[in-house]
Chains A and B, each alone.
Chain A
Amino acid sequence: GESVGLHLPTLSVQEGDNSIINCAYSNSASDYFIWYKQESGKGPQFIIDIRSNMDKRQGQRVTVLLNKTVKHLSLQIAATQPGDSAVYFCAETSTRGDMRFGAGTRLTVKP
């Protein structure tokens, strides 16, 4: 069936290094792909999204890459900081308006 999933459940990086979090999807009909950050005890927060007709989009310290050929989405965080430690979710939204999430990757930043 259709699904949104992640390659790795955990990622540990050194402060100042770049982080890359990956996501695989299978629904080719999705409109948007989105990355959310969730800190402990809080609801998810929007980081960045990318429309299905784009390959790359940059924000502040973050870049999202979309490879439709292999149905792969990635989130790159530049100069990772301790405040970036959280669980990161990729999500997709279809033409119906529903939004579905992957299982999440826990990012730990070591000082």
Chain B
Amino acid sequence: DAGITQSPRHKVTETGTPVTLRCHQTENHRYMYWYRQDPGHGLRLIHYSYGVKDTDKGEVSDGYSVSRSKTEDFLLTLESATSSQTSVYFCAIGAGRGTGELFFGEGSRLTVL
């Protein structure tokens, strides 16, 4: 299995609180991604990174920010969590644009009450 870990794996929080999810990789892959998965919507791209300090928005980036200060870590922050952000969040890593293969973490289940 690819060396990718997400933390926390489960979190329950209240509306209006800040939340940070962490993705850590040991593969030295250039690309890192954050997706959310909801019933009926499949996987939707929130943000992705193509290098240290290089990030770009995905299709559902509103309400989320990311940071990548090191190759191995990609942080997803919800500045003020809302109930609509209750979801399962997946981090993925990829070697680059020359391949279609991403490796996914186990997911982080976030519940916003």
Contact = CB atoms under 8 A, between A and B. Distances in A.
How many of chain A's residues touch chain B, expressed as a range? 20 to 34
A46 to B, nearest CB: 4
A96 interface: yes
Interface string B32-63: 01010000111111001010000010110000
A95 B97 contact: yes
Interface in B59-113: 59, 90, 92, 94, 96-97, 99-107
Contacts of A31: 97, 100
Contact of A99 (B40, B45, B105, B106): B45
Contacts, number: 70
Given A42-B106, A43-B106, A46-B101, A89 B42 contact: yes
B48 A97 contact: yes
Interface of A: 31-34, 42-46, 49-51, 89, 91, 93, 95-104
Given A43-B106, A43-B107, A100 B45 contact: yes
Nearest to B101: A46
A58 B105 CA distance: 26
Interface of B: 31, 33, 35, 40-45, 48, 50, 56, 58-59, 90, 92, 94, 96-97, 99-107
B101 A43 contact: no
A24 to B, nearest CB: 14
B88 to A, nearest CB: 9
B48 A93 contact: no
B95 to A, nearest CB: 11
Nearest to B90: A43
A44 B104 contact: yes
Contact of A103 (B31, B42, B97): B42
A97 B93 CA distance: 11
A53 to B, nearest CB: 13
A101 B97 CA distance: 16
B50 A97 contact: yes
